[in-house]
Structure 1
Amino acid sequence: MITIHGMADSGNCYKPRLLMALLGRPFRHAEVSWRDGGTASKAFRQKTPIGKIPLLETGDGRFLPESNAILCHLGEGTRFVPDDAFERARMLAWMFFEQYSHEPNVAVRRSLLCYPEMADVATPERLASTLRGGNSALEVMEERLAGHDWLVGDAPSLADIALYAYTHVADEGGFDLAAFAGIRGWLARVTALDGYRPRDWLPGA
């Protein structure tokens, strides 16, 4: 059985848990957090030198970091990966967008506001910058979702899982989704998927 090492409160760590729930696949969760120094421990760094979570541990002892790489591995051959090569590339484009444009603003601003450990770097300038960048990323999503149910094609894909993780808690970062009707409808469709579990769900809990 695989183990997903991660922090229960992290959106990046929620992504693979959500996918596994949607697929109905068993896995173990091992809590590791940067907040208590767990990701910097010698034992964890032996598993992954970059010291980042989530970290996938396979049943045969291999390790895979990076949330979207984990999604691609776990999603291989499932209904969440389009059959068409170009549609798969479009899915990946949204996943790259998530890590390059969305997460550094929406997720980071949430962290700045929610975690006391980050208070010293939550400067007014950084909060303003991430607010602007986050709203720009949400506008890109809204442009697609105002006229489509899903980010790629006519069915949910890994791109929807990747972007759902932090978008559905964007309000915790001070983002107002009232003006993003397309996004709000999409969020409701994700939560209606068979097997959906919320962020605080852990296997066996």
Structure 2
Amino acid sequence: MTQILFYGVPEGCSFGSIVALEWSGQPYQLSRIAMPETVTSEAYRQINPIGETPTLRTASGEFISESMAILNHIGAGAVEQGIAFRQGTKDFDRLNQMLAFLNTTFFNAYASLWYALEHASDENEREVLVAYGKTKVAKAHDDLELLLGNRPWLLGDNRTLADAYFMGIARWSDFHKTASYANYPGLSALHQRLEADAGVRFAHAIEHEEQAVSAGGFAGHVSFDDALRATRKAA
């Protein structure tokens, strides 16, 4: 059974998992999930009860949610590609530490900005949420610039799952008009390096429904309904 990534649009954090799948070389399909329409539907909650993306249907037919869990699942089969490491090694711990920072600090810094955009009831509430969010985003970038140091990639000389996940979140700065990468030379260089990457360009094209050329194992799109029916049939 080919694994399927259910990815959210627009601007979903699923972006990092698409990049990671491209880098892994593993065969996979994609299923496009509109937010909030499809992601909050009863049908989608059959595979992810809390109604969030991304969700991965594994090759064995199991469903995994949460980006860190999905990335580690992909990474377990991509150690030879150099984007992940074997559990129990020092590098595995370093990767998980960076992924945890990106998930709990970098990702979370944008929470109030997304809330202001989607749920703020009046202009005063929106202004408070945006000001708070911009402060958190700036601090998260300060911290990540420090953690990056002089390395070309987040963990060293080679790209890893952490860089894929970073890119999915980093583009939110342009979307929300917050931190400018011109103020962060290390992160700016990393951002530019990733923008030039074939897997990142592929993920951008997929999100914007443009012609996308895969350098990995992409086996095409499948509708959510078809993916759900196929999973039930296989079970």
TM-score interval, smaller chain: 0.7 to 0.9
Give the drift of 1:201: 2.7
Give the drift of 1:112: 4.8
Most deviating of 5-14 and 55-64? 5-14
CA contact (8 A) 1:68 1:95 kept: yes
Which residue of structure 1 aligns with residue 212 of structure 2?
none
Instruction: Tell me how far apart the structure 2 counterparts of residues 184 and 40 of structure 1 sit (CA, whole Å).
Output: 35
Q: 2:103 aligns with which of 93, 99, 102?
A: 99
Give the drift of 1:129: 1.1
Structure 2 vs 1, CA of residues 190 and 107 (structure 1 numbering), >3 Å: closer, same or farther? farther
Give the drift of 1:169: 3.7
Give the drift of 1:173: 1.5
For structure 2, the 5+ residue unaligned runs are 207-217, 222-235
CA contact (8 A) 2:76 2:85 kept: no
Most deviating of 55-64 and 129-138? 55-64
Instruction: Tell me how far apart the structure 1 counterparts of residues 151 and 112 of structure 2 sit (CA, whole Å).
Output: 27
Which residue of structure 2 aligns with residue 75 of structure 1?
75
Aligned ranges for residues 148-163 of structure 1 at < 5 Å? 148-163=151-166
For structure 1, the 5+ residue unaligned runs are none
Give the drift of 1:185: 0.3
Q: 1:183 aligns with which of 171, 184, 187?
A: 187
Instruction: Tell me how far apart the structure 1 counterparts of residues 98 and 153 of structure 2 sit (CA, whole Å).
Output: 11
Which residue of structure 1 aligns with residue 66 of structure 2?
66
Q: 2:136 aligns with which of 133, 138, 159?
A: 133
Which residue of structure 2 aligns with residue 29 of structure 1?
30
Give the drift of 1:108: 5.2
Instruction: Tell me how far apart the structure 2 counterparts of residues 12 and 196 of structure 1 sit (CA, whole Å).
Output: 13
Q: Does 1:55 align with 2:55?
A: yes
Q: Which runs of 4+ in 1 moved over 4 A?
A: none
Letter in 2 for 1:96: A
Instruction: Tell me how far apart the structure 1 counterparts of residues 112 and 13 of structure 2 sit (CA, whole Å).
Output: 11
Give SS of 1:27's match: strand
Cα deviation per residue 1:41-60 (whole Å; 9 max; x = unaligned)?
A: 22211112222211001233
Letter in 1 for 2:49: P
Instruction: Tell me how far apart the structure 2 counterparts of residues 108 and 73 of structure 1 sit (CA, whole Å).
Output: 29
Cα deviation per residue 1:120-150 (whole Å; 9 max; x = unaligned)?
A: 3862111111111111110111123341112
**What percent identity do the matched residue pairs reach?**
23
Count of residue pairs brought into register by the alignment: 201
CA contact (8 A) 1:145 1:186 kept: no
TM-score (structure 1 length as normaliser): 0.85
RMSD between aligned residues: 2.4
Structure 2 vs 1, CA of residues 107 and 126 (structure 1 numbering), >3 Å: closer, same or farther? closer
Instruction: Tell me how far apart the structure 2 counterparts of residues 126 and 16 of structure 1 sit (CA, whole Å).
Output: 28
Larger gyration radius, structure 1 or structure 2: 2
